[in-house]
Amino acid sequence: MTSRPLRQTRSARLLRPVLLAVLALLVSLGVPPRFAGGGAAGAAELAARFDGKPITLEEVDANVQREIMQIKSRMFDLRRRGLESLLTEHLLKAEATKRQSTVQAVYNEEIVSKVAPVTEQEARAFFERNQNRIRAPYEQVRERIHGLLRERRIEEQRERFVERLRGAYRIEMFLQPPRLQVSADDDPSTGAANALITIIEFSDFECPFCSRSQPVLKQVLSTYAEKVRLVYRDYPLETIHQRGRPAALAANCANEQGKFWEYHDLLFANQQKLSDADLQGYAKQVNLDAGKFDACFAAKKYNAEIDHDIEDGRKLGVDSTPTFYINGRLVAGAVSFNEMKKIIEEELQFQAQAKP
């Protein structure tokens, strides 16, 4: 769930699926995208010329960087699933050899035999919870439900057993997700300055999806305490949110007096009330020096700072809010705590493994 600016042309919308399909094919084959007639433009690869002036592949990639990152992220997920499957095979084979047995025997002993039978009560309860989707009498789907629930239990037991095996064998993981170099600039941050995980948020105070993300971010900061730092960067979508920039200007003025996060919370809690008078009222609520705040806001003192954030975001491919970069890994939209937690846990594991 994201808010998007209404700025794409019809031709761009039509071309985007084609471009994504081509990029996905090339990336899946391990072939870097190249344009016919490409050569060298100085140190950069040439994609095209317009009126004799070069357009480099780097410029092209920058124009679709978000889409390229999404493709690379999907590719990483596929590779990770493939790697986990291979590791499971190796673990089961190693354990079978250790026991002087077979993989199938180990599987049956440690997984299948330890799965409790599915009771009729459990099957009926599942049917009742999902009756609107099943749309068939219980007796017709009874055996399928029993089979499904048993397969789930086998998979859960397999995961538990494999997790125990991982602790008994030496495994080194080198597969890394795609990342971008994302600057925190000099923007407001909360959390330890030397935290292992940095989350950079491009956000808009008038964006409803950004507001929905705030409880998730608070839960992340509470759960991971000194391990996570959150950086807020402005990305008001002015084509659809008319009060996004004024709110950002006001928040920067509050930051000048050391009250950014208090003011930030008030803005997200009152998204329907972002008039100039409202913004001045929030300044009083967080005990800002009213004279300094009013002068800062009236002068639009931080306009250039906001423009800089927007330009940095566009270079990264940001085109909707909220957009997060967790240690450089793209996370688009108002995702759940569990989705963020998964990436944070992975990054903590990468950090731990990188230690000598």
263-274 confidence digits (pLDDT tens)? 999 999 999 999
Looking at the chain, which residues constitute the CATH 3.40.30.10 domain(s)? 189-354
What pLDDT shows up at residue 23?
Answer: 53
187-226 pLDDT tens trace: 999 998 899 999 999 999 999 999 999 999 999 999 999 9
48-52, 162-166, 168-172: least confidently modelled range? 168-172
What pLDDT shows up at residue 313?
Answer: 94
Confidence of residue 184 (pLDDT cuts 50, 70, 90): very high
What pLDDT shows up at residue 14?
Answer: 46
Q: Judge whether residue 250 has pLDDT over 90.
A: yes
Share of the chain above pLDDT 90, in %: 75
Burial class (CB in 10 A: 0-12, 13-18, 19+), 89: exposed
d(CA 126, CA 120): 10
The H-or-E segment that residue 18 falls in is: helix 10-28
Confidence of residue 174 (pLDDT cuts 50, 70, 90): confident
Q: Looking at domain 189-354, which of 3.40.30.10, 3.20.20.140, 3.40.50.720, 3.40.47.10 is its CATH number? A: 3.40.30.10
d(CA 182, CA 234): 14
> Assign residue 100 a region: left if phi > 0, alpha if psi is -120 to 50, beta otherwise?
left
Which tokens sit at 42? Answer: 């100085």
Rg (CA), the chain: 26
What pLDDT shows up at residue 24?
Answer: 54
Mean per-residue pLDDT, 120-145? 93
Q: Judge whether residue 322 has pLDDT over 50.
A: yes
10-27 pLDDT tens trace: 444 444 555 555 555 544
Q: Judge contact between 235 and 324, C-beta under 8 A.
A: no
Question: Does the reported pTM lie above 0.75?
Answer: no
- Quick one: which of 240, 349, 253 has its CA closest to 303? 253
48-90 pLDDT tens trace: 999 999 999 988 888 888 888 889 989 999 999 999 999 999 9
What pLDDT shows up at residue 4?
Answer: 64
Which tokens sit at 154? Answer: 């086998």
d(CA 184, CA 189): 9
- Which residues lie closer than 8 Å to 228 by C-beta, 6 or more apart? 191, 195, 196, 197, 198, 199, 220, 221, 344
Burial class (CB in 10 A: 0-12, 13-18, 19+), 352: exposed
Burial class (CB in 10 A: 0-12, 13-18, 19+), 243: buried
Q: Judge whether residue 28 has pLDDT over 80.
A: no
Confidence of residue 300 (pLDDT cuts 50, 70, 90): very high
d(CA 130, CA 208): 31
Share of the chain above pLDDT 70, in %: 88
Q: Judge whether residue 34 has pLDDT over 90.
A: no
**SS3 call for 232:** strand
What is the chain's mean pLDDT, rounded?
A: 89
